[in-house]
Structure 1
């Protein structure tokens, strides 16, 4: 009961202590509030991503196929996804087959043929001058807007267009046209299981992003520590004992933290209204999705005030408050090192047993991972005060500004450590996370096999185009500004002659002129009419030998009498196969047009590989427009060197969002902390100016007071980060490799934030140097 009374008395002092008390409490509340806002956002992020995934699943249209018979409740849907200016656009063509056809989420009904319903951002893009090029590819009349239920986020580019051509295209069994018949939304979507290493990565991300927030909150509740201790000495003078004064101080911190909870909630609610305008790594969410979990929000509401009380009591454990002053102002006893080293050692002890576990031995113990990582990173906050105290004790000499800075650090190195602790923990965690990402990235980001050095785009064409039509389309693409060359290859399927259909073998034939055939085979010499047999292909080569009797494939018919026979010429030369620009090493036959001219009924599907002028940002969109004009169902696309696992890409996007939020918190909290320290030293600064100290000297003094702790903090953070990164790589069974440019980038970002905050604090510093700072009441 006495303790509760003391806490209440301290809270009363914080709220009724005049302008000085209110200012101190407000600074604490702002610092705590910023951390609370980020904690609330973090607790809401999993729910926001889940809501996003739920909308994605609700509109899923993959997996049905065309085996469903047409009925009054079926819908034909064609996927016409495209890319414009590097942004993905989700496109669908819809043709209802009855009045009860399903409607995609976000639409009130199917659009009429020739019209479309679009997302708000796509409507704005199409109506802008920038969207003129895209309008050629999406020429439908806009008649409505896709509601939020049909979008992943407020800035997604989506359109649903009506069509009356899908049934005819499906009846032709046209290849390379992705048309399906649906009876309902959503279709079943197979879930991609998460593997142990990705689960570990997610845990590490949460620890690395949340720990700096906790450090900043712990530092914020100690704002105004020096002046608070002087007030506590006055309480001792009127009869309070030492234990009572500590609990009164805890009550002041409690009041500031509770007010910080209120401000943090307000900050979060304000920021949530604008979250839809923010896009990070092509990911954004609706404000309504950012809804904190009640359980986690309650945990934040309880943990922050409890931490404020605990941190204050812990900070005062070595301070002797007497009626005539605070003993801490005398020469302090050197900090002990042994228990500070114990934290990272225990953390290592928790993580070492999981070395070389990899992904084949099940999931990692999350409690053990969190405990070990937290102890290693907390070791930075424990070691940094000792490191700063040990180094600055040996500093001396130099100019007046340097001496003022060094003396200030020697008198109160703890305040400097608190200023830098958060940025040091964030940098250490970022370095470890970067090492882990770099180590495992090769497992999830793999080479696609596509050779963007030989071609930058591919334009598939429908089957059974006449050679004249194929040449016309190729010439259209070749005439696009920015296109430097095209190569067109045809593809024909054949079957071997076998009495038992199960014994048949598939043989692939590439058709093209000699220049085109050299893209898929190493030809010694070539002229029109030649045929080649390839060796070393990955598929399609069984049964392809000179003299072999084959049959051109006829879909839907297994009757040899209905199929066209073909005999491989005995003069066909054997050549090694070559990987094509799509990364495929074809086997089978290579034939020039003259070799199959007599087989007019052969079903040839053509593909044009396109090379473009480097640096032309719009050439891809012009090629896509040209391909669309020839075939609205085109699957033309840009080639990519790499492919990324969707789960890994999602985790990486989440990391970018969290890192951006923590970086903003770091900068803002550092600024608030620095302004609080300057406010506490207002009278000292004014006194120095009154005695003739130049303002530039004091400015350099403040800069040195920031530069020395930051340098030491970043050095310590780099060492701890590299150590933690090495431990994590050993845990996942990967070799320890350091990406030094990335490490230096992390350190540079941390230092840059501090430099920016220091520069922003200079104008308030100059105002505090005015003589009226000596005025007192």
Structure 2
């Protein structure tokens, strides 16, 4: 019995597939439109299936090029035949991060960086392809001044994270004498030791929730688009199936044949999808989206996930077709759907979103303190809520257009068309509505979570824009003078730090000393008077310890700089006698250096040898009238010493994992947005093709083409407006529930809602505009010709 049923299904599906490819030009056009629509969705699914491999490949290459990992040698280590001295010279150029290293091999066995064939000689460098292009372009003029090396080679893929990575390795001489274990290090191998890293910090449940919801929200519209694409040409197909009833097929056989036609389109769509994926794979190698780039070879889908896509898409095509035909009575003399359809029922359409809320409700209030969220309940709840839009939208469109009245001719044509086929209009905008709803929910969730993962740095970016860390062996007078004259620098302040103790030997207590001229010290504290030779005790109400004032801030007391901390032999302590007056001063409400406490001293108050124990930082306020002022100062710093490190100040700092998830969302949303536009255009063209004869007939009877163009615009505008209103409602509901789950206060980001809605509407308007030229061609009288 089962074998007979299987054979019957096989024969009917095969017959439907043959009809697809032997139905003449009409059948091929329909099959190609379906294949393009399905193929776009399949390509995006395959790209998603490649994400695990992309992340793994990037992480592997990142670990392989680390130079402070398994091969790190202590600063006191001696040169060997296998040692390499490497200096960190990372920089930034026009908001782009550039990874730079100076290399000085100390023997024939020194390790080569990944992707580098041989060490560059002093004065030479090897660069990544993207950096090479930048240096040759007009945009890289300032950067060429900062990297005064001759390019002699290219870094291979093994040494790069992505195809647009900006990296260079330059040869150097003499940096072995400046090994400090931080900026300049001695290593004998590249890479990180990942063994024994199982005891990692637990992952934040809210970050896991964000990641899960991002994947669900991005993939759900893809599934909706694929389900829409397999129903292209539905009305013409149903009229063809009526002919099959006339020659003797029953209703079930007819539906199976229709499923076979959809299956053929889906299989062809898999082939198109593979082609689109390979094309997108190659294009991805030359594209950077939100500072993220990949190599084409990284986009290798997981075999298991690729097989799942290959099986799920054809199965979905068959099931969607059978489900769509459940309410269509195909008789030998026609299709009942051509008559006025019965009113859609609302009750069952409310079940999916209500079921979704029921799945999410038990996790409300869980927050980050009560374990991880149930991933199956989260996925199911979000999917049901979003798919609830696809169930509700046809009812909303039908109920709304049924009440529309008379108007201009274009309005009446559009309204009558929507009243006869509201389901088709709703299907076309289902995907964009689902995408907008998911985007609104994510916007709310990210806005609510941002405060948790964003902290203030305490830096006042209006007072200083650049912080430069000077090497300890760099003469401060020379560096300060040169950088003060740098183009783009409006003002500078140099602050140096050290620590002093109460006793020369075996000290038990330390206090920090900040050294600078009077102008620089006034950036830290309120000084009533100051001259070279003065010392102050700075008092901060929150952190200052009165005991330290009594012990360290006593006028005339002798303190000690411990030179052994900087590598000198024990016993090389430097005595420092405080002056007869050491006034207490208050820290400024907006100090240049946050969290500072201890002693403030002018340079004239220090003993002569104490300057060798100071670590100096220079703060630069840039001139807003100088173009590229930040890069001009960086260039000046490299000209003084390539080991000067520069940091651009920022008022806030975000957790890296949170930033990575948000970047992944933006990259994925960009891909889905392209899919939305392409799929909508294909769907619009399919709708116009089905109405070709009707449009040509209306033109033949004297209807103005402008009127028909406006009617097409109304037919798109009405359902998309309803879809966006419904999407906003569902998105706000889902966003509120997710915020309740995470324990964040519910706040509606109306600007974000409007922006997401506006983007969705803009995509639809763009697609409508692109469909106007084909509409004009379809309105020609030749469209009445038939075979």
Kindly indicate whether the alpha-carbon contact (under 8 Å) linking 2:488 and 2:633 is maintained by their aligned counterparts in 1.
no
Identify the residue that residue 3 of structure 2 maps to in structure 1.
none
**Superposed displacement of residue 757, structure 1:** 0.2
Q: Provide the C-alpha distance between the structure 1 equivalents of 2:241 and 2:319, rounded to a whole number of angstroms.
A: 18
- 1:39 matched to 2:7? The reply is no
Identify the residue that residue 276 of structure 1 maps to in structure 2.
285
Distance 1:141 1:538, change over 3 A: farther
Deviations 1:456-484 (A, max 9, x none): 1112223366xxx5344333223223322
Q: Provide the C-alpha distance between the structure 1 equivalents of 2:428 and 2:484, rounded to a whole number of angstroms.
A: 61
Instruction: Describe the SS at the equivalent of 1:136.
Output: helix
**Superposed displacement of residue 583, structure 1:** 4.5
Deviations 1:573-596 (A, max 9, x none): 111223776652211111223323
User: Which stretches in structure 2 are left out of the alignment for 5+ residues?
Assistant: 1-6
User: Which stretches in structure 1 are left out of the alignment for 5+ residues?
Assistant: none
After TM superposition, the structure 1 = structure 2 runs for residues 692-711 of structure 1, keeping only pairs within 5 Å, are 692-711=702-721
Distance 1:598 1:669, change over 3 A: closer
Count of paired positions: 768
Kindly indicate whether the alpha-carbon contact (under 8 Å) linking 2:576 and 2:607 is maintained by their aligned counterparts in 1.
no
Q: Provide the C-alpha distance between the structure 2 equivalents of 1:559 and 1:676, rounded to a whole number of angstroms.
A: 84
Q: Which has the higher mean CA deviation after the structures are superposed, 454-463 or 246-255?
A: 454-463
Identify the residue that residue 60 of structure 1 maps to in structure 2.
66
**Superposed displacement of residue 525, structure 1:** 2.7
Identify the residue that residue 769 of structure 1 maps to in structure 2.
779
Kindly indicate whether the alpha-carbon contact (under 8 Å) linking 1:448 and 1:583 is maintained by their aligned counterparts in 2.
no
Identify the residue that residue 652 of structure 2 maps to in structure 1.
642
Kindly indicate whether the alpha-carbon contact (under 8 Å) linking 1:44 and 1:290 is maintained by their aligned counterparts in 2.
yes
Q: Which has the higher mean CA deviation after the structures are superposed, 530-539 or 316-325?
A: 530-539
**Superposed displacement of residue 598, structure 1:** 5.9
Q: Provide the C-alpha distance between the structure 2 equivalents of 1:621 and 1:540, rounded to a whole number of angstroms.
A: 41
Q: Provide the C-alpha distance between the structure 2 equivalents of 1:265 and 1:561, rounded to a whole number of angstroms.
A: 73
Q: Which has the higher mean CA deviation after the structures are superposed, 525-534 or 740-749?
A: 525-534
Identify the residue that residue 525 of structure 1 maps to in structure 2.
529
Identify the residue that residue 432 of structure 1 maps to in structure 2.
441
Instruction: Describe the SS at the equivalent of 1:390.
Output: helix
2:450 to 434, 437, 441: 441
Identify the residue that residue 496 of structure 1 maps to in structure 2.
502
Instruction: Describe the SS at the equivalent of 1:397.
Output: coil
Q: Which has the higher mean CA deviation after the structures are superposed, 253-262 or 734-743?
A: 734-743
Distance 1:231 1:464, change over 3 A: closer
Q: Provide the C-alpha distance between the structure 1 equivalents of 2:343 and 2:379, rounded to a whole number of angstroms.
A: 31
- 1:104 matched to 2:104? The reply is no
Kindly indicate whether the alpha-carbon contact (under 8 Å) linking 1:451 and 1:583 is maintained by their aligned counterparts in 2.
no
Identify the residue that residue 20 of structure 2 maps to in structure 1.
14
Q: Provide the C-alpha distance between the structure 2 equivalents of 1:474 and 1:513, rounded to a whole number of angstroms.
A: 12
Distance 1:301 1:583, change over 3 A: farther
Q: Provide the C-alpha distance between the structure 2 equivalents of 1:675 and 1:581, rounded to a whole number of angstroms.
A: 63
**Superposed displacement of residue 493, structure 1:** 2.3
Q: Provide the C-alpha distance between the structure 1 equivalents of 2:470 and 2:590, rounded to a whole number of angstroms.
A: 17
Q: Which has the higher mean CA deviation after the structures are superposed, 62-71 or 372-381?
A: 62-71
Identify the residue that residue 544 of structure 1 maps to in structure 2.
552
Distance 1:534 1:723, change over 3 A: same
Kindly indicate whether the alpha-carbon contact (under 8 Å) linking 1:454 and 1:581 is maintained by their aligned counterparts in 2.
no
1:293 to 265, 282, 302: 302
Instruction: Describe the SS at the equivalent of 1:9.
Output: helix
Q: Provide the C-alpha distance between the structure 2 equivalents of 1:456 and 1:640, rounded to a whole number of angstroms.
A: 8
After TM superposition, the structure 1 = structure 2 runs for residues 171-250 of structure 1, keeping only pairs within 5 Å, are 173=180, 178-188=183-193, 194-250=203-259
Distance 1:741 1:617, change over 3 A: farther
Kindly indicate whether the alpha-carbon contact (under 8 Å) linking 1:538 and 1:586 is maintained by their aligned counterparts in 2.
no
- 1:134 matched to 2:134? The reply is no
After TM superposition, the structure 1 = structure 2 runs for residues 124-523 of structure 1, keeping only pairs within 5 Å, are 124-170=133-179, 173=180, 178-188=183-193, 194-463=203-472, 470-497=476-503, 500-501=506-507, 503=508, 505-523=509-527
Identify the residue that residue 595 of structure 1 maps to in structure 2.
605
1:554 to 545, 559, 563: 563
**Superposed displacement of residue 646, structure 1:** 2.1
**Superposed displacement of residue 602, structure 1:** 5.7
After TM superposition, the structure 1 = structure 2 runs for residues 628-639 of structure 1, keeping only pairs within 5 Å, are 628-639=638-649
Q: Provide the C-alpha distance between the structure 2 equivalents of 1:285 and 1:193, rounded to a whole number of angstroms.
A: 28
Kindly indicate whether the alpha-carbon contact (under 8 Å) linking 2:533 and 2:605 is maintained by their aligned counterparts in 1.
yes
Distance 1:582 1:664, change over 3 A: farther
Distance 1:583 1:564, change over 3 A: closer
Q: Provide the C-alpha distance between the structure 2 equivalents of 1:595 and 1:169, rounded to a whole number of angstroms.
A: 28
- 1:605 matched to 2:610? The reply is no
After TM superposition, the structure 1 = structure 2 runs for residues 712-751 of structure 1, keeping only pairs within 5 Å, are 712-751=722-761
Identify the residue that residue 4 of structure 2 maps to in structure 1.
none
Instruction: Describe the SS at the equivalent of 1:532.
Output: strand
Instruction: Describe the SS at the equivalent of 1:458.
Output: strand
Q: Which has the higher mean CA deviation after the structures are superposed, 539-548 or 306-315?
A: 539-548
Distance 1:192 1:756, change over 3 A: farther
Deviations 1:297-345 (A, max 9, x none): 1111111110000000000101111111111111211111111111111
Kindly indicate whether the alpha-carbon contact (under 8 Å) linking 1:464 and 1:603 is maintained by their aligned counterparts in 2.
no
* RMSD of aligned alpha carbons: 2.0
Distance 1:499 1:218, change over 3 A: same
Kindly indicate whether the alpha-carbon contact (under 8 Å) linking 1:75 and 1:102 is maintained by their aligned counterparts in 2.
yes
Kindly indicate whether the alpha-carbon contact (under 8 Å) linking 1:579 and 1:585 is maintained by their aligned counterparts in 2.
no
Kindly indicate whether the alpha-carbon contact (under 8 Å) linking 1:577 and 1:585 is maintained by their aligned counterparts in 2.
no
Kindly indicate whether the alpha-carbon contact (under 8 Å) linking 2:100 and 2:168 is maintained by their aligned counterparts in 1.
yes
Distance 1:610 1:317, change over 3 A: same
**Superposed displacement of residue 498, structure 1:** 7.0
Q: TM-score normalized by structure 2?
A: 0.94
Q: Provide the C-alpha distance between the structure 2 equivalents of 1:205 and 1:613, rounded to a whole number of angstroms.
A: 42
Q: Provide the C-alpha distance between the structure 2 equivalents of 1:57 and 1:579, rounded to a whole number of angstroms.
A: 42
Q: Provide the C-alpha distance between the structure 2 equivalents of 1:598 and 1:94, rounded to a whole number of angstroms.
A: 35
After TM superposition, the structure 1 = structure 2 runs for residues 74-93 of structure 1, keeping only pairs within 5 Å, are 74-93=83-102
Q: Provide the C-alpha distance between the structure 1 equivalents of 2:297 and 2:471, rounded to a whole number of angstroms.
A: 44
Distance 1:559 1:2, change over 3 A: closer
Kindly indicate whether the alpha-carbon contact (under 8 Å) linking 1:540 and 1:586 is maintained by their aligned counterparts in 2.
no
**Superposed displacement of residue 638, structure 1:** 1.6
**Superposed displacement of residue 658, structure 1:** 0.8
Q: Provide the C-alpha distance between the structure 2 equivalents of 1:333 and 1:62, rounded to a whole number of angstroms.
A: 71
Instruction: Describe the SS at the equivalent of 2:146.
Output: coil
1:673 to 644, 668, 683: 683
Kindly indicate whether the alpha-carbon contact (under 8 Å) linking 1:456 and 1:638 is maintained by their aligned counterparts in 2.
yes
Instruction: Describe the SS at the equivalent of 1:317.
Output: helix
Kindly indicate whether the alpha-carbon contact (under 8 Å) linking 1:540 and 1:588 is maintained by their aligned counterparts in 2.
no
**Superposed displacement of residue 559, structure 1:** 8.4
Kindly indicate whether the alpha-carbon contact (under 8 Å) linking 2:561 and 2:610 is maintained by their aligned counterparts in 1.
no
Q: Provide the C-alpha distance between the structure 1 equivalents of 2:287 and 2:663, rounded to a whole number of angstroms.
A: 13
**Superposed displacement of residue 155, structure 1:** 1.2
Q: Provide the C-alpha distance between the structure 1 equivalents of 2:476 and 2:592, rounded to a whole number of angstroms.
A: 20
Distance 1:602 1:284, change over 3 A: closer
Identify the residue that residue 116 of structure 1 maps to in structure 2.
125
Kindly indicate whether the alpha-carbon contact (under 8 Å) linking 1:464 and 1:604 is maintained by their aligned counterparts in 2.
no
Instruction: Describe the SS at the equivalent of 2:585.
Output: strand
Q: Provide the C-alpha distance between the structure 2 equivalents of 1:594 and 1:579, rounded to a whole number of angstroms.
A: 27
